[in-house]
Structure 1
Amino acid sequence: MRIMLVDPRGETRPYDDALAAALVAKGNAVTLMASAPRVAQPPPPAGVDVRYVFYRLADRVPGRARKAARGLEHPFDLVALTPHLMRHRPDAIHVQWLPMGIVDRYWWRIVERMFRVPVVYTAHDALPNHPTPRRLRRSAANARAFRRVIVHSQHGRDALVGELGVDPGRVHMVPHGALTAYRDVEPVAPAVPDGVPLVVMLGLLRPYKGLDILLEAWPAVRLALPDACLLVAGRVLGDPEGAARLEAMAADGALGVTSDLRFTPTAEFVGSLLRADVVVLPYRRIDQSGVLFAALALGRPIVATRVGGFAEVVEQHGAGVVVPPADSAALAAALIELLRDPARRKEMAAASRAAADGPFSWGAIAAATERVYAR
């Protein structure tokens, strides 16, 4: 099968690369259409034809004007895919994101009819993480525009069908795969003390990810376990209050907090996960998280909130503990309990790795994705 994956802004490149590699391993020819990465990334997977066809002009524009330039260029870049479509005639097109909403929906409907090819859309966020009425209408329109929609959790499927009114016959649950490519990365250890219990929160720091809840919980953890340390690493996007509070706590040496508020290079990301005794995901809302599936792949115990599809992974597969969202006392109690119980953490670490190599393996994900293409 000839498959075209499309991720214009490269928003989920670890996912794209892993899915593409797994589809190639099953005998498919895969082309990934994306934009050139603006930060260091691992090399593209072997056997995948990666083409940087989006925003080649716009990404030369400096500063804040780049976003507007991308918006202007985007429709032209979509149309510029036509020669490739005519030459290669893919058997399936798999679209990961719709940066311009109505423009993308209209274009992919034209492509599906003109080339008589199934176009699949993955709703990585079944519901917007900042759910205003306008954003909910856009999410509904995006999902309704496609005959085949993939979501990564039963929660996501229920949301599309029950809240956004998408035809249930069009929505298919295919789990996010464990990001096992990180196992091959040479790790760089974080700058934290050796031999102390370490809790780690990684990734882009947005308000819905609950950094403030973690910071509220941490003094209780530190009181119960005076040598415990907390590492929070990632670039801040839209959460200046949380970042300021984190920096203030990091400046207080008595709290054992380390902050690293920048884009985390892959080697450091992996090194921080491998050093973690517990990976914490204190989110207020989400469907699924790439950090969760990186932690799963590297066999780490997880404490997550009961939001989106987290419990479907963490709780059902024994990979960690799930607590109520926005409950700092419950979060603190779970962290204290796990940090005090190395035997239980060892069991959870083994369960994480087993889940990554079993139901969340990319072989299983690719097979399920192929079935959606063929429907």
Structure 2
Amino acid sequence: MKSLYISILFLLIAKFCVAQQAVLDKEKLLEFYQSQRYGEAAAYLSSIYPAETSDVKVLGQIAYCNMMAGKLVDAERNYQKINELQPKQIPVLFSLANINSRRGNNKNATVYLQEVITLDSTNFNAFKRLADYTDSLILKVQYLQKANKLNATEAEVAYDLAASYRKLKLLKPAYDVLKIAIAADSGHLVLQQALLPIANQLNKYSEVVTVGEKLLKNGADANVLADVAKAYFFLKNYKRAITLYQMLEKTEMQTESTLYYTSLCFRELKNYDQAASYAKQTITEGISPNTAAYYNLLGSIYEEKQQFTAASNAYKKGLTYQINKNSYYRLGLLYDLKLKQGKSALTYYNLYLKNKDLDKDDEPQVEYIKGRISELKR
């Protein structure tokens, strides 16, 4: 009988301890939340409630705090436990998707979002997020189309869908998507800027000028300048086009394309000297500074294949883009040692020695070439 009383006493003490442990200081927790000390909030909640708790509300609080504190491993474990206890809860699935995305695991994030759209085929946010997680352009478009159908005025989806359509060269659908979103928010400058290159490609030059000039009042963005200048070119307002293109030059934002159209503008105005000058700049802009190096690489490959004439042509082609000491050196060696043409070898050896870019690292080659020149002159 005595042992029974002792057992009952122990049970009462245990219940009392649990009851004491579960007393939550709401003001303290609120202070953690208001000061955004989510890590401390999670630790506090975990100290109050037992680790094996199956209270979904408690687990949700701890999971949220861990997620906000950046403790993603703990947050995922908490949300997974909730998902096991109460599966098919859309907020939980979204949280799991978000955590996996932040940890770089888009594959798992996609799985959770697929569960969401299975539960709710009209969930705009799920389709929007799925589009972010796929590398497939076709699949991205499909998700964005569904999101856009659910909310055609949401700017981010409209922008992304239009950009994806443009990649697929579906210009009219891209234009239409942007126009609907802009109609809902006429002050959205990002959408208007995205519209300009598409409208240009659709030959809507007057619209580009109207929209673009308004955008330029908010700042001379390089892309807007280029788009508006191009529209002016096709509207045959060459002077205005030149003014805008030269604004790009002042900020060193010119491109091969903008220089090309500047040259065309001057040609149409019969200013042939300027047209020729810009044509030359266009050619220079269109050539990679590494082109000569690429031809040297090609020449060395031909040499390895014993295709010496092709190698010589590749090295010489590189020199048409840029004077390069390495090209002279390789040509000298090629004509000297492989093609046995001493006169040509001397020409390229001498050009190498006259190169202004020679430095201390080139001294071994310089000494070798001087020796070879002496041998060839005998």
Q: State if a TM-score over 0.5 links the two structures.
A: no
Class of the TM-score when normalised by the shorter of the 2 chains: under 0.3
Q: Give 1 or 2 for the bigger CA radius of gyration.
A: 2
Q: Compute the TM-score of the two structures, normalised by the length of structure 2.
A: 0.25
Higher strand content, 1 or 2: 1
Higher helix share: 2
The TM-score with structure 1 as length reference comes to 0.25
If asked which structure has higher relative contact order (CA below 8 Å, sep 6+), I would say 1
